[in-house]
Amino acid sequence: MSFVEYGDTIKDGDTAIVFLGHESMFPVKVQHGTVTQTKYGVIRHSADLIGKKYGSKVTCSKGGWVFILHPTPELWTMNLPHRTQILYSTDISIITMMLELKPGSIVCESGTGSGSLSHALIRTVAPTGHLYTVEFHQQRAEKAREEFREHGVEHLVTVTNQDVCKNGFGVSNIADAVFLDIPSPWEAIGHAKSALKAEGGRMCSFSPCIEQVQRTCLAMEEYGFTEINTLEILLRVYNVRTISLQIPDLGKAAEDNSSTGFDSSSPADQGSPCANLQQGAVQFKSGVPLREVVGHTGYLTFATKS
């Protein structure tokens, strides 16, 4: 099993996603002799998972059933254990596009955090690219290494435990892109410039506060970056559903028609809107926004090394 290479069959040691519904799923490490409890009953790994195909419908001990899905960066983002605040797919998608990432790209990232963005970057640059990710917190760095190894992507990523603001990324003039998600990104702009290739490299800084963005933009200008721009992604989801609306009561329409000599019983007038308008309800499809929507997550500042 690998997050960048799809496998058909569930094997011992794989990380799989137990899918109970769109709002209910969780990751599980498949192991011989292990069982997993769900609200539909027990899943026995040896009998119910190992050797089955990903996407299979598995019946639990109480008669309910779940689907077992192959992990992807998007599913991992929704189910990973949170060691820090994470980036979600809405921001990740614009980051990978604006940094112009592709298979073979070299990317530097700080900090690693819970690894949400890291998995997406690895999948984007695979199979010939590489991710250099720096994490200040030692335990988080060690946990990230363990997860990358379990997910079959350790050959595509190098995890370093150090302070990027003081020691940089550990590489020079090779990166196609740099991503910063740290409290004081303006202190790491010089190291980001050093890590980027000679010219044309792209960088992105994620910050939740506009004051951080202002200081970062000033530092980018000081170090000669161009095409500096900041944006914010706000996602608004719509539900398409059937709406029922009452037809308005127009009052004395019939009396008004008779006073003007209009005969609603005449065959020639049966197709008239006034003749067919009756009090009642009409149904139609409509897009309705959700009552609760995700608000501000953070500001994304992009720039190019000139």
- Annotated binding residues: 114-117, 135, 163, 181
Cα 211 to Cα 52: distance, rounded to the nearest angstrom: 52
Which residue ranges make up the annotated binding site for S-adenosyl-L-methionine? 114-117, 135, 163, 181
Q: What are phi and psi of 141, to 5 degrees?
A: -65, -45
Rg of the Cα atoms in the chain: 28
Cβ–Cβ under 8 Å, residues 15 and 29: yes
**Encoding tokens for residue 108?**
């530097």
> CA of 66: how far to CAs of 2, 44, 77, 88, in Å?
22, 13, 20, 25
**Helices 138-150, 116-125: crossing angle, 10 deg rounding:** 40
> CA of 54: how far to CAs of 7, 67, 160, 259, in Å?
8, 8, 33, 73
Total residues belonging to the chain: 306
In this structure, is the dihedral angle defined by the CA atoms of residues 201, 205, 210 and 211, taken in order, positive or negative?
negative
Q: Which helix (H) or strand (E) holds 204?
A: strand 202-207
> Which string of DSSP letters, residue by residue, matches 132-170?
EEEESSHHHHHHHHHHHHHTT-GGGEEEEES-HHHH--S
What letter does residue 50 receive in the DSSP assignment?
Answer: T
Closest CA to 171 of 195, 187, 148: 195
Cβ–Cβ under 8 Å, residues 122 and 4: yes
